[in-house]
Each structure stands twice: as structure tokens, then as C-alpha cells.
Amino acid sequence: MQVLLSGAAGFIGSHLVDRLLQDGHRVLGVDNFITGDAVNLAHLTGAANWSFVQADATSNDFVARMTDLGPFDLVLHLASLASPKDYLAYPLETLESGSTATRNMLEIALRFEARFLITSTSECYGDPLEHPQRESYWGNVNPIGPRSCYDESKRFAEAITMAYHRKYGLRTNIARIFNTYGPRMKLDDGRVVPAFLSQALGAKPLTVFGDGTQTRSFCFVDDMVEGLCRLMLSDEREPVNLGNPQEITLLEFAERIQRMLGTSSPLEFHPLPENDPTRRQPDISKAKRTLSWEPKVNLESGLATTVAYFQGRLAAH
């Protein structure tokens, strides 16, 4: 297939590009580098079936520009400012990536009668009152809090995606991604895995927010990419959770990092950020049923691969 993929220089986007090329598809990647990193695509220089355009998916001429580069069989919208550090620094751009950019990508898909997939987020559930979170749960989101620029941008993105499906019959897929980790995360990303690893490898205190009893469920990027590939070819039009249901407290996770790296870095506790979710665990029954998918990589193996990557990046610096 001919694929258009926004956010190609991002963490998950670049891994998905690799997989699509491996599977024999032709991929046009797009990124504006507001948070993406060109180093994530450097290994593809000169690769067959690969091309890249630096462009902003929110721009007025984006649809026309990409239409001239078509046709496309598959349109994948992964462009997003997913790290709290990034979306708090760029709140308006975050809202635009979920609204204007999503509509632009949907318009391109509509013009070519292409399949469309958007990566949404577990943040649609907010600080959940249901646990674990199923796709049928409507969420507990503060629409005006500091995190709302990200949460509401994704909720809007889901709404407009379903509107295009219902109005035009567009073949759409929505992936609600839970905490994903692995190589190509930015060293200064701000999310928990790169934060803990960068701190531990730099012999700095590990920053734990609150008392550390809040939970997360970490999914290795290879598993996530497999889930996305299965979803983009499926007939499931409503949201599907993709994540690892193995739940762990952030305190336990920090202590695991300490043991794994044999570091003497102490834990340093800070106030919990406003509206930070206290529990996060996906119910992946739907993914198992409709995609025959579930994570395969355990936390120890995934972390070992991620640590090796971070060590290499730190040595390069």
C-alpha cells in the first residue's frame, strides 16, 4: 500500500515507519519537528519505498500539498505532542494537532477513499473512576485543567474521526494508546520511563511525584506497533485500547530501575501534578477479541533494550 504517516520522526511513528517498510509498503513520512527528532529517521536515508517531507499537518496548504503527492491507500495520523513536558509548553499547538491536523488528515483519506487510523490516548479516560479502563468508559477529564490541551485534543480527534466515518462512510480506526516505552524516546522527554532512566544513568535522584502509589501499565513499542498494524487493517471502527495490562505503582517501578541498574540514586519525592491520573490500566479484552493481539514483551526485556539505547545516546552526547 501507499501510506501517508504524520509524526514520522516521533518515537512511535518512526518505529511504525520501519515496520511498514519491512512489510513492503511505500511510505511518505511527514513531520514538522516540533517534538520529532530527525535522528529517528537517519537510518532510512536512501531506503527503498521511503520518502519524507517536512511539513506541518495544521497548515492551510497541507491537504493540497499532500494530495499532489498521492494517491494513498492508508492515512495514519500519529502527529502529537504526547509528553506532559511538551504539551504544557505548546498547549495551542497540541490542540491544533488534535483538531486541525486530524481534519486535514481525514480530508486526505476521504479524497483517496483511503483507510484512516488515528492514535488517541488513555488520557481520554482522565483520572478514571473505573478500573481497569474499558473502551465503553466515558472518562473523568477536567476540560479546563492544565492537561486539558492534550486530553481534549484527543477526545475531539476521536469525535471528528467518528463523524467522518458516520457521514462519509470513511474506513476509520481509533487506537487508545496506553503508556508506551522503548528506544527512540527522547532523553529529556519528561515521561516516567525516560525520566527515571536518564536520572539513574546520570547518578541523579529519581523524581517520584506524590507518594508513588499511582499506577501505570507500560507497553513496549514493538508490541504497540504490532497492535497498530493489526488495527489499521481491521473492521473495528470504534476505539480499541492498546497497552499492557500489567499494572505497577511508580514507586515499585522506580525501585525496579534502581535494582536493574545497580544505582545508588535515591528517590526524591515531589508534589503530584494537577489532574495526574492515580490509576492507569487497560482492559484489552476488545483487542484480544477483534485483533487477536496482546503484548508479548515483558517489562524486564523491554527495559533492557531501552536501557541499552539510552546508554548509547548518553555516550554520544
Residue numbers annotated as active site: 150
Cell of residue 289, nine digits: 477479541
Question: Nearest 5 degrees, angle CA 74-CA 56-CA 123?
Answer: 70
Do 215 and 245 form a contact (C-beta atoms < 8 A)? no
The H or E element that residue 112 is part of is: helix 100-112
Q: How many residues does the chain have?
A: 317
Residues whose CB is less than 8 angstroms from the CB of residue 39 and which lie 6 or more positions away in sequence, other chains included: none
Residues whose CB is less than 8 angstroms from the CB of residue 216 and which lie 6 or more positions away in sequence, other chains included: 179, 192, 247, 248, 250, 253, 280
Instruction: Give whole-number Cα distances, 119 to 39, 72, 82, 102, in Å.
Output: 22, 18, 11, 10
The H or E element that residue 20 is part of is: helix 11-22
